[in-house]
Amino acid sequence: MKKMYRYILTVLATLCLAGCDDLFPSMDDFSELDSEGIGIPSQQKPNMKVDTIVFSQNYKTFDIATKILRDIGPYLLEDSSRVKVHVSEKTNGIERTKRSTPILTRIENTEGLAIDKHDIRMLALVDLTLPQPVLNEIRKKIINAKSLFINDNLYVAFMDGQKVSESMPTSPYVMDNYFKHSSEEYVYLYRSMLQKKYEMINGQKPWENCNKLVLLTFSDGMLYADDSDEPIDPDHYLFEEEMVKEDPSIQDKFLAFYANCNKNDMEIDDHSNNVLWLFCSKNGGNYMEQFNLIELEDKTFKAFNIKSPSNIFHFINPNFKVYRGGKNKLTVDFLDAKTDSIFASFTADIVKGSIYAPIIVNGLSLPVVLIQGIVLCFFCMLVVWLVMQLLVPYIRYRIFLKKHVTDYTGNNMSWENQPVKESCYYCKAPFEIGEKIVVKCEHTMHKSCWDENGHHCPEYSDHCKNGSHYYNSKNIYDTHNASFYLVWIMMAFMAALESWICFTLFASLNGRIDLLPSFGLTTAFFLTLSISTLAISMRNLKHAIMNILLKSVVASIGSFILFYLTNSIIDSFGLSEYNTFFTWIPWTLMGYLIALCSTYGTRIPLRKSLIGLSAIIGFLSMYVWSAIFFDSEVDFRVLLLFSFLIFSVGLMLCIAYAAPRSDRYFLKVEGAVKTMDVALYKWFRNNPGRVVTIGKSVDCSLQLSWDLKGYVAPIHAEIHMEDECLYLIAREKGVYIEGKAVNVDKKEWLYHGKMFTIGNTSFTYIEKDR
């Protein structure tokens, strides 16, 4: 029971939340402002770009490939000890709860893997005569580059004076201890660069068997000693010539990059800059005024003909997650584990499914969905029944007892400032002191007489409007105890459940094609069936089954066409973006169509207000349909039941409101006499076996004494009641139903609006409200 309670709560909360979804579409803007104002510093625009989003077939998992746009610093995204990942998702601007947000399961450093797979090795050649702060900068940049060169394929070597060190792996020890400013003033730049180039292309240690080599030089490009035109290197010109030589044999094997570290605005002559620029461009690389890892990576991948996104993020969707065509904005932020500051982020826009053809991730199996829906529906019905059949009538009864039932205190008794009669209106016996009496209308009665007379005053209805309070305390299950609306609501629940089951079955068979017309088909059929059943009154049901079925089929096909046409129009004009602006039309028209079909030819007048109301109900349930929230533990298809329920119950109540409350039927007599309504129901109420006779004889129930010219036999016709149905039986010739002669002794069923004539008098059978 507790679980059920929680379940219902979830559903209700979900519905409430759903309301907010569409009511405030501009929430998106606000929350975005928020996230910029508080969360991410404004300069931290996403520095990763989404390349592709690929879903698995059942939408349980998906992969997002991204490209890094700007340097993200010394982080390896997949290094969970240093990097925290925060995934959030908004649907139409509403933040989703954790439960329905996809979980990031794995980060694949595809770039790093590609570099490793293609065995690209890079050497960073560092000029140690640079100032210490610059060296520190370079050291940081090389550490950053390790997020690409993940598997010990990044080396470092140092130029210091005339020497150049061996190429060393970028081990923590090297990185911590070698970046020390040298006391030397200059380096042999060209010579060192060329030495390293040949070391690499000749496959010396550690470049054995490697044919994708990258040389990256960090230097200030100083080639001449201060105040001197003489190059530092005695063999300068020899090496200079060597630098600008082109070598086609190593074109796809060796790349050279140069990062200018001349921070002191020291003048370097254009000539030497040109030499360095030529060296890089002839070797497939770039001369960079400032080191840029992304640029280096792009160029390298292009040169070696490698295509790869930066990272692939593997996500897993929670079960029951629903994609309904709304805009899902998935934001992934990467935070420094220590400082909690965001250093990288990307946003992926995901639009999948549609309102009427949603995608459910690992939804429940069909039988489970059906069982859940049926249980849920019956639970709601039980609650409604308990309240309307037991709780409310009991409370009203207590109020009735308090306000209108009292002990008789004797002559001159007054009740609410009115003198109380001294005898019972029903049994005529004088009241005795202490007896329970009912003082609800002017006809004061014994409480026992009140109950015996069917819990109302004998004059109730025509002459006494207040004289009724029905409560059968001996049998609390008496259907008359409950409100008149209960049976309508119960029928609506059943109709909703039936159409929901059909719709769900249809949807599962039909895949994702045009579900809406089938919604119209099933809902209109079952609702029209239920409403017409009630509208026709139980008394006449068995005669009207074909009639009811026909109406249901008409409404059903009509609704199918309505939705089908709307869908076709939306499709052919490419208006699917404005789906919600158009689909309310068939919804509301369907409401009207059902109301029209089910009340046609019945005692329920199709009032103008009814048209408006059914339109509102249609609109409202469409709104609920499109707004049902996805952020719940309940399968989306089960939640849809609520849309069916709202539509059914709402429409049913509209029609019930217009329907006659009491079971009252009359014969309207017109012709040679002043028009009058004869209350047949009074004659049959306490005596269903009675026969109402019509004729000239004084013994007839209805004596046609006024018809002097026409032929009327002493007993011309009779009205019987059988199984709650009324029948007309002609006992003589000369009875006409709608102009056609009726065979003598043949039973003719009387239903609302049926007219027959005897002589010059016409009779119309009507069922009506008070």
Binding residues (CB under 5 A) for Zn ion: these are 424, 426-427, 441, 443, 446, 449, 457, 459, 464, 467
Minimum CB separation from Zn ion for residue 443, in Å? 4
Question: At which residue do the structure tokens 């039936």 appear?
Answer: 498
What are the backbone dihedrals phi and psi of residue 436, each rounded to the nearest 5 degrees, phi first?
A: -80, 125
**Number of helices followed by number of strands (H, E) in the chain:** 19, 33
Of residues 112 and 467, the one with the C-beta less far from Zn ion: 467
Of residues 121 and 446, the one with the C-beta less far from Zn ion: 446
Question: How far, in Å, CA of 482 to CA of 461, rounded?
Answer: 19
Minimum CB separation from Zn ion for residue 444, in Å? 9
Does a cis peptide bond (omega within 30 degrees of 0) precede residue 206?
yes
Minimum CB separation from Zn ion for residue 551, in Å? 40
Question: Amino acid identity of 361?
Answer: V
Minimum CB separation from Zn ion for residue 17, in Å? 51
Minimum CB separation from Zn ion for residue 405, in Å? 14
Q: Which residues, 6 or more positions from 36, have their beta carbon under 8 angstroms from its beta carbon?
A: 42
Q: At what angle do helices 236-243 and 270-282 cross, to 10 degrees?
A: 40
Of residues 63 and 451, the one with the C-beta less far from Zn ion: 451
Sign of CA dihedral 528, 533, 537, 541: positive
Minimum CB separation from Zn ion for residue 463, in Å? 7
β-strands 287-288, 342-350 pairing = unpaired
Of residues 52 and 466, the one with the C-beta less far from Zn ion: 466
Minimum CB separation from Zn ion for residue 489, in Å? 30
Minimum CB separation from Zn ion for residue 683, in Å? 20
Minimum CB separation from Zn ion for residue 702, in Å? 26
Minimum CB separation from Zn ion for residue 440, in Å? 7
Minimum CB separation from Zn ion for residue 401, in Å? 18
Of residues 458 and 714, the one with the C-beta less far from Zn ion: 458
DSSP-based helix, strand, coil % in the chain, nearest 5: 40, 20, 40
Minimum CB separation from Zn ion for residue 462, in Å? 11
Minimum CB separation from Zn ion for residue 410, in Å? 17
Reduced to 3 states, what is the DSSP secondary structure of residue 406? strand
Tell me if 577 sits within 8 A of 534, measured CB to CB. Answer: no
Residue 522, number of CB atoms within 10 A of its CB: 24
Identify which of 602, 621, 614, 483 has the alpha carbon closest to the alpha carbon of residue 551.
602
Q: Identify the bridge partners of residue 323 per DSSP, sorted by sequence position.
A: 359
Is residue 678 exposed (0-12), middle (13-18) or buried (19+ Cβ within 10 Å)? middle
Residue 505, number of CB atoms within 10 A of its CB: 15
Of residues 381 and 464, the one with the C-beta less far from Zn ion: 464
Is residue 357 exposed (0-12), middle (13-18) or buried (19+ Cβ within 10 Å)? middle
Q: Which residues of 144-179 are buried (b: 16+ CB within 10 A; e: fewer)?
A: bbbbbbbeebbbbbbbbeeebbebbebeeebbeebb
Residue 246, number of CB atoms within 10 A of its CB: 10
Tell me if 594 sits within 8 A of 559, measured CB to CB. Answer: yes
Of residues 313 and 408, the one with the C-beta less far from Zn ion: 408
Of residues 16 and 427, the one with the C-beta less far from Zn ion: 427
Of residues 441 and 529, the one with the C-beta less far from Zn ion: 441
Distance of CA 100 to the CA centre of its chain: 13
Of residues 22 and 442, the one with the C-beta less far from Zn ion: 442
Tell me if 266 sits within 8 A of 257, measured CB to CB. Answer: no
Of residues 419 and 688, the one with the C-beta less far from Zn ion: 419
Residue 2 vs residues 8, 641, 704: alpha-carbon distances, Å: 10, 22, 68
Of residues 196 and 446, the one with the C-beta less far from Zn ion: 446
Of residues 426 and 683, the one with the C-beta less far from Zn ion: 426
The radius of gyration of the chain from alpha carbons, rounded to an integer in Å, stands at 45
